[in-house]
Chains A and B, each alone.
Chain A
Amino acid sequence: MSDARPVVEIRGVTFGYPPAAEAQPVLEDVSLEIGPREFLGVIGPNGGGKTTLLKLMLGLLKPQRGTVTVFGRAPTEVRARIGYVPQHGRIDPAVPATVLDVVLTGRLSRSSWGSWYCRTHVEAARAALALTGMDHMASRTIGTLSGGQRQRVLIARALASDAQLLLLDEPTAGIDAHLEQGLTDLLHRLNQRLPIVIVSHDVSFVSTHLKRVACLNRRLTCHAASEVSWEVISHMYHEGVRAVRHRDECPLSDPGCHEGCVPDEPKEHAGR
């Protein structure tokens, strides 16, 4: 029974950054439920509030109106159970640390004093690296990794904290297309165990595996990601393609935000 309860509940959230918090909210009356086996993609243009939404779920920001609960509690109380995967560019490549050192910081909430992590933590970190297929690179320096490899290390770091919810911010930014497919497959496998939310302005990432898509541009609307049976598109992409059916009230169907609405086009063709 408890499985049916949503992992994340966002109700009527309005948020703006000071000093224009009231006049120009970044998010307005956003409501969203994320279920226990959800694989949700949040897409929208830059400045549409995607990262802000993630930060609200992490409790790094507090909404001016509305409530955010994760696992039925305030986000700050359950942070240790949320695996957050920032953009891989956040990691300074000049830091003298190995892949294992980085993944071990995912165990920091359990072991933060002293200079060394004990064996249970090292084993947990190695297990997380194995899950992401990066175990053979554990002793490599983080600065020598490619963008895609670094992204996997950050996912491993989130998993190392025994996360029960995975939040990814722009996971495909600066990553080659063929690596990206490997990344989507990895996330699909992880989704068998835990709910995943991906935030991206890169609409091509939305094309596979996602169960549901939320379009965010100040306001939020959800769509079911559904198969497009349009042979030409499939032929062009060499793989299964999903398109988003934007409803009329979708904020992305406004003119001027076409940046986030590319999946709309196949729908129009498919409708013909």
Chain B
Amino acid sequence: MTDSLPLAHFFHDMRDNPFLVTGLLAGLCASLACGVIGPYVVTRRIVFLSGAIAHMAVGGIGAALFARTMFPSACAGISPVHGALAAALCGAVLIGIVNQFVRERMDTLIGALWAMGMALGILLIKFTPGYHAELMSYLFGNIVYVAWSDVWRMLALDVVILGAVVVFHKRLLAICLDEEQAELQGINVLATNIVLLCLVALTVICLTQVVGLILVIALLSLPAATAAHHVTRMGPLLLVSTVLCAFLTTVPRIAVYGTQIGPESAIVLAAGGVYLLSVAVRRTIS
């Protein structure tokens, strides 16, 4: 089979290997989340804040692993993803507040939260006895072995994210355009910012399964930024960026199937490549 096309190879193996099906579905679920939230992240220029949220989630993973090992009776039900979710949401609220009230050296402060969240996670894991293979899958993604329970969890997060965007879209677009105007129109800018950052946190957790926490930022920003080159309204931008995300999480993964190249890296490299290509095309046209 090694000499046949990866596509045919992939679909042939799909019949015997359920993980290939769940892997594809996980990619599509993550695409929906990042395709819808990515455009707000890029438009609002909070890619850096999103990176901080993703790395603070490592602290949550460390805390969850630590608690589960040290207090097995009380914390048996806690999985690292619970810790990551809780830490990402706490980080989103914290960063939203910092962003609103600390104007001076704000980027340095966010950078400190970014590094400290990650360092705390590494420290807690070091103090947790045993070897933690699953940590690696959270840091670098693991789209090869996705359980059905993961797919259902991602689908649930998608429903929450989509519902929130439908309810909050006008407010989110207003703070993207002009925060001061939104405030004068009676919008609570701080609360709206925190809602957006919490949606970013949920998306980060969704994407973790696909590309891992370290590379989440690539998938959150690059497809949306690429789509923004060619679409000029928010509604169509959400649609195009979702389709692009779906393309990027499926095609590179199938293309490298059966090779030594990790699908997670292939996805991120493809996202970056498509973005750079789009920049080049745009430059040439204009």
Chain A residues close to B by CB (< 8 Å) = 58, 60, 79-80, 82, 84, 86, 90-92, 94-98, 101-102, 105-106, 108-109, 111-117, 141, 143, 157, 161
Contacts and interface: CB of A to CB of B under 8 A. Distances in A.
- A101, A108, A114, A141 interface centre (most CB from chain B within 10 Å): A108
A94 B169 CA distance: 18
Nearest to B231: A96
A84 B173 contact: no
B167 A108 contact: no
Interface of B: 39, 43, 165-171, 173-174, 176-178, 180-187, 228, 231-235, 237
Contacts of A101: 173, 177, 233-234
Contacts of A96: 39, 43, 228, 231-234, 237
- B39, B233, B235 interface centre (most CB from chain A within 10 Å): B233
B273 to A, nearest CB: 22
A115 B174 contact: no
Contacts of B39: 96
A97 B178 contact: no
Given A108-B174, A112-B171, A84 B181 contact: yes
Given A96-B228, A96-B233, A113-B167, A80 B177 contact: no
Given A96-B232, A101-B234, A105-B178, A115 B183 contact: no
A141 B232 contact: yes
| Chain A residues touching B, majority SS | loop
B43 to A, nearest CB: 6
B170 A117 contact: yes
- A58, A82, A92, A97 interface centre (most CB from chain B within 10 Å): A97
B78 to A, nearest CB: 35
B232 A80 contact: no
Given A79-B186, A112-B187, A157 B181 contact: yes
B233 A97 contact: yes
A178 to B, nearest CB: 27
Contacts of A114: 166-167, 169-170
A95 B177 contact: yes
B100 to A, nearest CB: 14
Contacts of B176: 92, 95, 97
Nearest to B176: A95
Given A80-B185, A98-B232, A114-B170, 20 more contacts: A60-B183, A82-B184, A84-B180, A84-B181, A84-B184, A92-B176, A92-B177, A96-B232, A96-B237, A101-B177, A101-B233, A101-B234, A102-B177, A105-B173, A105-B177, A108-B174, A108-B187, A112-B187, A115-B165, A141-B232
